[in-house]
Amino acid sequence: MSLLFALWLTLPGFADDASLKQEAIRGRSELARAATADGLIEESIREWQLVKRDDPANEEAAKALASAAKPWILAWDSARHRKWVAWSEKRRAFTGDLARRWANLAEQRDKAGDRDGCWEACQRAFACDADCQRAHELLGEAKHDGVWVTEEVAAKRSKGLLELRGEWLSAADVRKRRMEWAEAWEMHGSHFTVRSNRGLGPGRSVLALAERVHAAFMREIMGVVDAPPVTKRLQVLDFSTLEDLDAHIKAEHQGGTTPKGVPGFYSPGEGVHLAVLPEGSALTRDEVVLHECCHAAAGRAIPLTGWINSRANFWAWEGLASYFESTESRDGKIVTGNPSIIRLKLAHDELADGKFTPLARFVVLDQEGLGKQYQQAAGLVHFFLHWSGGKYRETFIRYFKVVATGVSDEKTFEKEFGRGAGTFEAEWRQHVMGLK
């Protein structure tokens, strides 16, 4: 092969699968090294995982993943965030360019009549940039209301029509029917399906929060970055009225009754139920979604073999979900542990007022004994995850996994920590009183 011909093959317009995969490996390796240098552990792990996807035998990626620090985030200050933003801009530029090159290859295949090859190249483009316009257009899709759909669907929607069970109806008629629980909207993410009769927008918001807290839980507790999509998604049922929830409970839960004054709950057999936010609720609806979907993520990741509610250490189950109410997105970076959430503010105030249960007694309470002491539980989880550079974090995670299986007893705490809960009281008080 002549040098001129070799150079001709490497031009963007004449790329092939092999050359683009090699470019992806090279670029992602550089991004991974840069992330490591900036202390962005999660980002480094993610890029090396993508390198391994394209090159399973890549030794540098294997060594980097084997020696990587834990991906959890103990603190996320403004200096670290600036590094993350700068690194993310570089990544966005690289992946955007790579997506365009895959789309160029898809277009070449489309012109050659290779529709299967075109589709495959488009999927590679979407893996780099889910919003790659040219790839979507090659598949006959147009963007409408922020979502890529077929050109036919986009044309119908531009006329104010929406599809419902094979019929194209006015948006007003569809909304009216979707408000009935039997025909509620359904939307799917990588790990959750949300069924909602509150509206398409509210349902999408619930789905985004559910996926966000799933990513946060998997990273912080399970040490997993970018958990792969699942075929059997976790279910979130988002009811617009208490009457809808009551009817569902009676029909699906052997004639049971809806818990009174509860804005949401998780049941292992079915999923998350979101009710109407009670008047005067201390929590926002978003915090309720994060709390209950954290339970769902934990229930999926840690198989239940016993029954959590009736056992000692129940505080950890509710405390962790209360802690993850702090999950937020800063310019797209998912972070947790913000001490300004209402649970932690209440934990601070109640501790200052002497309204707390001594830890030796607190940790052995079951659900009935715990009652509404979720703020103390949230503060204790925050302490174990963040105190003194996370010195107790790994021990707490190991302990939580035992609790989440539903097999803990009154000796579990001391067995896992190697000391009684009361010995942590001075440090716990100092930590909670220092939260700002």
Mean residue pLDDT across the chain: 93
Please state the domain extents for the chain: 3-125, 180-283, 302-436
Looking at residue 15, its pLDDT comes to 67
61 exposed, middle or buried (CB, 10 Å; 0-12, 13-18, 19+)? buried
**CB within 8 A of 51, min separation 6: which ones?**
25, 28, 29, 32, 58, 60, 61
pLDDT tens, position by position, 262-307: 899 999 888 999 998 888 888 999 999 999 999 999 999 999 998 8
43 or 5: which carries more pLDDT confidence? 43
> In this prediction, what percent of the chain has a pLDDT beyond 70?
96
pLDDT tens, position by position, 183-201: 999 999 999 999 999 999 9
Angle (CA) 364-401-41 rounded to 5° is 130
- Which DSSP state fits 154? H
What band does 436 get if pLDDT is binned at 50, 70 and 90?
confident
Looking at residue 335, its pLDDT comes to 98
CA distance 66 to 68: 6
418 exposed, middle or buried (CB, 10 Å; 0-12, 13-18, 19+)? exposed
Tally: H helices and E strands in the chain: 20, 11
Q: Please give the biggest Cα pair distance in the chain.
A: 82
For the residues of 86-131, what is the DSSP string, one character each?
A: HHHHHHHHHHHHHHHHHHHHHHHHHHTT-HHHHHHHHHHHHHH-TT
CA distance 265 to 289: 9
Q: Using the predicted structure, report yes or no on whether residue 8 has a pLDDT greater than 70.
A: no
CA distance 414 to 417: 5
Pick the CATH number of 180-283 from 1.10.800.10, 3.40.30.160, 3.40.190.80, 1.10.760.10: 3.40.30.160
144 exposed, middle or buried (CB, 10 Å; 0-12, 13-18, 19+)? middle
Sign, CA dihedral 325-330-333-335, equals: negative
Mean pLDDT of 122-147: 95
Q: Using the predicted structure, report yes or no on whether residue 337 has a pLDDT greater than 90.
A: yes
Mean pLDDT of 310-327: 97
Residue 202, token pair as written in the block = 């509210």
CA distance 50 to 28: 7
SS3 42: helix
CA distance 299 to 232: 14
Residue type, 294: C
Looking at residue 419, its pLDDT comes to 97
For the ranges 127-131, 133-137, 165-169, which has the lowest average pLDDT? 165-169
SS3 212: helix
> In this prediction, what percent of the chain has a pLDDT beyond 90?
86
Angle (CA) 332-338-342 rounded to 5° is 120
Q: What is the CA radius of gyration of the chain?
A: 25
Q: Using the predicted structure, report yes or no on whether residue 2 has a pLDDT greater than 60.
A: no
For the ranges 251-265, 309-323, 385-399, which has the lowest average pLDDT? 251-265
For the ranges 119-133, 138-152, 247-261, 299-313, which has the lowest average pLDDT? 247-261
Residue 186, token pair as written in the block = 């359904």
pLDDT tens, position by position, 198-211: 999 999 999 999 99
**CB within 8 A of 274, min separation 6: which ones?**
206, 236, 237, 238, 239, 263, 264, 285, 288, 289, 292
- Residue whose token pair is 């201390």: 282
Looking at residue 4, its pLDDT comes to 38
**CB within 8 A of 409, min separation 6: which ones?**
311, 312
CA distance 223 to 219: 5
pLDDT tens, position by position, 89-133: 999 999 999 999 999 999 999 999 999 999 999 999 999 999 999
Question: Which helix (DSSP H) or strand (DSSP E) does residue 84 occupy?
Answer: helix 78-111
Mean pLDDT of 343-349: 96
CA distance 134 to 346: 51
251 or 425: which carries more pLDDT confidence? 425
Q: How many CB atoms lie within 10 A of CB 246?
A: 15
3-state helix vs strand vs coil in the chain, percent to 5: 60, 10, 30
SS3 144: strand
